[in-house]
Structure 1
Amino acid sequence: MSNVKHSAKLKLGAYILPIIIISQFACTSLWFAGNAVLDDLVLKTGLGTEIIGYVLSSVQIGFIVGTLVFAILMIADRYSPSKVFMISAFLAALCNMVLLFQDISNTTLFMARLGTGFFLAGIYPVGMKIAADYYEKGLGKALGYLVGALVLGTAFPHLLQGLKLGEDYTMVIKITSLLTILGGASIYFMVPNGPYRKSSKVLQLRAGMTLFRIPAFKKAAIGYFGHMWELYAFWAFIPFAIKTYNSIHNINLPYSLWTFSIIGLGAISCAIGGNFALKWGSGKVAMFSLLLSGLLCMASPLFFLMPTYLFLLAFCLWGMFVVSDSPQFSTLVASAVPIELKGTALTLVNSIGFTISIISIQLLTFWLEVVASSYIFTVLTIGPILGIWAMGKGGLNK
């Protein structure tokens, strides 16, 4: 009887992946919702430019704390991932809606975004865990589409803001919150536990330390950390880059719509990279993406001297290659550990990776005071160099 259920779930896999993808897109739309309405929040709170640090860093900090808690307690491996996903989505949406309050202080704003980030820890890595429970083979392709959904969800608030829906910034908050609730419910009611799921019955508080003793996991994790040094800092400062270009050339590119386009194109490259991974392997796809992204990092000061169409083309290509390695690193991580620890491994690597992203975002803020605006991204080259070194040394590019 169990074999019949197992076979039935395998057949469901082809239909379930689109549900996971759509739900992941819907729920991760919360990620940059605060960033997209930053100018409106400045006017509403009267806090001035110092609010930027609160909004940029609070979600990341919340996500780091959340993933650390989820990893230590092995939440995704001990409990039904679909139930964890739904509960996290509902609570994240609730935190997001705090931004609709009439009177909001800097402390309230920080805690609301912190809470959103905390519960996103039960969405993004848990979504990948659900996919891993359905795809023993072809996981790189599945995660390519799944991370592509994350990328599109991350970019979506910028599209909403760029479209100026009724000139009311609260529409961004309302739409992303509603999408998140629908996405969480869809996972719970339409995606049962996968056929390859193996529950961990015992809490292993030292599981994280044990994972880093696995050479393949350690090398894949270091490659991912190098990628994360660059990714979110690049995404966070795209509007600044476009504003800088506008100032240099005295033009008026719509930065919200172009930020959506540059980030959103990464969804396409993640899907394409996932398909290439079936033939080339996840290591080679990750290595190629990281190398091209690193070269674009190094060349970035030149972009601000280019004609508008070349500037936009360079940033669009960068937006594609900066993230196309992400699902492949996750595939390498998941493939390197025992099946009952996949959820914990993915969550732990996310926690450390996002801690690194906080450091790189803060470094870019400091770097801006030291160098000309057009040189701001050069310091991000450190990440791809480290990642390529780890992959080459560990043979992960095979």
Structure 2
Amino acid sequence: MKSKPLSIALLAISCVAVLSLWFAASVVTPALIAEFGIGPTRAALLTTAVQIGFVAGSLVSAILGLPDRLDPRLLYCAAALTGAAANAAFLFVEPGSTVSIILRLVTGAIMAGVYPVAMKLSVSWAKNDAGFLVGTLVGALTVGSALPHFFAFAGDLNWRVVMTTASTAAAIGALLVLGVGIGPGFKNAGRFNPHVALSALKSRPLRLANFGYFGHMWELYAVWAWLGSYIAASFATTGMADAQSNARLVAFLAIGSGALGAFGGGYLADRIGRTRLTIIALAISGFCCVAAGPLFGAAPGLIILLSLVWGVSVIADSAQFSTGIAEMSEPGTQGTILTMQTAIGFAITVITVQGLPAWVDLVGWQWAFLPLVFGPIFGIAAMARLRHVPEAAKMAGGKR
């Protein structure tokens, strides 16, 4: 059996590489608009198509129980290679065209074979450290999501360089996962049972944990997708030279710093409890949603500080919803239930990622993120209720 540290390290590196596909097109959207004259609706679809594709892929995967029935490493590898190919194909079509949007849909759909599967692999190694292990994985997701911002900054927003680099990284990540070992806690499902997916909402403790996750997702991807634009607009208001380039670097640092939040959140949740950690993180990120309004156009240092705090807090709780679900689920069902969780969560992100530009047209970038605060409020309410459910004692060694 391969060692736990090596397996988790390889899995995390692989996730960083593969998940760079997610925002590859989103980061270069300003360049695509300038070169091809893409309208605002289709420009937003380059991001939301990935979310929609992920939802569709996750639902199919959950209904068929694929994460609990197939070798997770082979499923992950095949999905990642397909995503790398679809992303590379974007280079040979007209950006903003129907074909380009379909390619982004395919990229999102195959992620259903990557992220939830990686979570199940990670949990298979857990022994009183599930929060930290899944937090490490979510940290990898965070860095992977931030990488395109760095590619754009380093490549001076040459969209072809960004897309090519992301596809190459994903292909390498696909091969790396073949070296990951499966932990002793791994258990495949028996016969096919589509009702397992429905237990994610039928079981009260799982439903409350999912509600917390859904509130979190209402905020998360809208912040990741549009924080760079908010920063650029704020910097431009102060008269900063080269505001766009500086904003790309700050966005990369802010989103990438979320890895520290994911690691730290996992470490703390194993010690103070998952419900307590998630409530604290949601409260901080919700405050940032509100504070972004009055701070718009403030000194760049304050905007950078806000972005870093937001980047850390908005993801610090993410892994703990998934870890709690895994701890409260029956053995052999975690992969399917986690996939169902992420399917619904990412369906919610479509609303905020796609809808935020329309909201900005009405109120401007200053108050762009104000509607996102309702997600953390909803999530806090759900996790506070979960804390008093008896089944919550299964989480974090009884720390709830």
Matches within 5 A, 1:62-81: 62-81=53-72
- In structure 2, distance between residues paired with 1:127 and 1:345: 14
**Residue 229 in structure 1 maps to residue 221 in structure 2:** no
Residue 349 in structure 1 maps to residue 338 in structure 2: no
Give the 4+ runs in structure 1 shifted more than 3 A: 43-46, 48-51, 102-105
The Cα shift of 1:44 comes to 4.6
CA deviation after TM superposition for structure 1 residue 372, in Å: 3.6
5+ unaligned residues in a row in structure 2: which ranges? 393-398
Which of 119, 125, 133 aligns to 1:134? It is 125
Distance 1:72 1:48, change over 3 A: same
Match of 2:264 among 245, 248, 272: 272
Q: Secondary structure at the match of 1:339?
A: coil
Change (3 A) 1:311 1:103: closer
1:287 to 2:279 alignment = yes
Contact persistence 1:59–1:113 (CA under 8 A): yes
Distance in 1 (alpha carbons) for counterparts of 2:159 and 2:202 = 48
Q: What percent identity do the matched residue pairs reach?
A: 33
Question: Alignment length, in residue pairs?
Answer: 387
2 CA distance for matches of 1:102 and 1:114? 14
Quote the residue 1:173 is aligned against: 163
Equivalent in the alignment of 2:395: none
Could you tell me how far 1:14 is from its partner in structure 2? 2.1
Task: Identify the residue that residue 120 of structure 1 maps to in structure 2.
Answer: 111
Letter of the structure 1 residue corresponding to residue 11 of structure 2: I
Q: Is the 8 A contact 1:293 1:318 kept in 2?
A: yes
Match of 2:396 in 1: none
Pairing of 1:99-118 with structure 2 (within 5 A): 99-101=90-92, 103=94, 106-118=97-109
Q: Which residue of 2 aligns with 1:182?
A: 172
Kept in 2: contact 1:214–1:336 (CA 8 A): no
Contact 1:214 1:337 in 2 (8 A): no
**Partner Cα separation in structure 1 for residue 364 and residue 77 of structure 2:** 45
The letter for the 2-side match of 1:303 is L
Give how far 1:53 is off. 1.7
Partner of 2:295: 303
Shift of 1:368: 1.7
- Quote the residue 1:5 is aligned against: none
**1:365 equivalent among 343, 357, 369:** 357
How far apart are 1:348 and its partner, in Å?
0.5
Say if 2:234 and 2:298, in contact at 8 Å, map to a contact too.
no
After the TM superposition, which residues 20-39 of structure 1 pair with which residues of structure 2 at under 5 Å, given as runs?
Answer: 20-39=11-30
Structure 2 match to 1:56: 47
> What is the SS of the residue equivalent to 1:368?
helix
- Unaligned runs of at least 5 residues, structure 1: 1-7
Q: Name which of 185, 202, 208 aligns with 1:196.
A: 185
| Matching residue's letter, 2:172 | L
Q: Scaled by the length of structure 2, what TM-score is found? A: 0.93
TM-score normalised by the chain length of structure 1: 0.93
CA distance in 2: counterparts of 1:16 and 1:334, whole angstroms = 19
Kept in 1, the 8 Å contact 2:189–2:332? The answer is yes
Change (3 A) 1:312 1:376: same
Q: How far 1:92 sits from its partner (Å)? A: 0.4
Aligned amino acid, residue 204 of structure 1: N
Q: Which amino acid aligns with 1:320?
A: V
How far 1:43 moved relative to its partner?
4.3
